[in-house]
Amino acid sequence: MLYDIPAPAKLNLFLHVTGRRADGYHLLQTVFRFIDLNDRLDIDVRPDSLICRETDLSGVPHDEDLVVRAARALQRHTGCTLGAQINVRKSIPSGGGLGGGSSDAASVLIALNRLWKTGLSRTALMQIGLELGADVPVFVFGQNAFAQGIGENLQAIDLPKRAYIVIQPAQQVPTLGVFQDPDLTRNTDPVKIMDFSGMMSGTARLFDRQHNDLQAVVLKRYPVVRQAFDWCGSAGLDVRMTGSGACLFAEFSQMSDADLAHQKMLVKMHADSELLNLNVSRVDVPHEGVSRFIQSVSVCDGLQEHPLRNWIES
């Protein structure tokens, strides 16, 4: 048994759509960064072959959950006859572009490879992960990475120490609809991999020099995300969307800067909510202020590697 297994979230520091394959998959370039916002998993080995998810996750049927599918995929590829009892404690928002489901699946693959003693290499686990979703391999890869292709072509990179404020809008964004939008930019010029270890000071930041091609589509299609984005701008935060949304993030050179910006956000949230409530109370309409469009705010450290990286021998 293994308890309190971390499954960290990721940020896409930028995301460019550079083309589209004949099979409909989009070609991407992005940089994945792990952050210390984690789901937590508990896994017990079963003597039978059953895979059971203990947690009831709203809107995610048992057999469709990536953690269940990951465990069954590992059984299928290795012939293992053992089973697993899996409990998931969610902290990463669903439908937010933070990779929570993919990260959970990767942590299940890594943990069960150890518990079941299946002995698969990192490369083999990454191949299984790719069958589950394009974001799963990077979590098995275990290092911050420059990614190309559909997200499976990974190259480890050194990233400078950074802190982040992550904003969860009060709206989920289905990935499929974003990629199908006719207004999506699909021909961004490819960039070359950079050595990010030198970007430690001044304005020479990746955040300043790149963008997310999906952001404009999401802001157009999802008004609550747009409200959250605009409010962050009014609060002095330079935010960008991660993945296909809906979560937004701002980057800071150090944690103390992120903490200070967070405190200023909370003050403004309270003031703006009071003002909004005051304005709508004149027409007797219930209102929840800024929480109408911002569900949560987290302050996170950027990680240098996945916390389970050393659980795989090769």
Q: Active site residue: 10, 39, 65, 104, which one?
A: 10
Q: Active site residue: 39, 65, 135, 213, which one?
A: 135
135 is catalytic: yes
Q: What is the 3-state secondary structure (H, E, C) of the chain?
A: CEEEEEEEEEEEEEEEEEEECCCCCEEEEEEEEEEEEEEEEEEEEECCCCEEECCCCCCCCHHHCHHHHHHHHHHHHHCCCCEEEEEEECCCCCCCCCCHHHHHHHHHHHHHHHHCCCCCCHHHHHHHHHHHCCCHHHHHHCECEEEEECCCEEEECCCCCCEEEEEEECCCCCHHHHHHCCCCCCCCCCCCCCCHHHCCCCCCCHHHHCCECCHHHHHHHCHHHHHHHHHHHHCCCCCEECCCCCCEEEEECCHHHHHHHHHHHHHHHHHHHHHHHHHHHCCCCCCCHHHHCEEEEEEEEECCECCCHHHCCC
- Whether the link from the prior residue into 246 is cis, omega within 30° of 0, is yes
189 is catalytic: no
The residues assigned a catalytic role are 10, 135
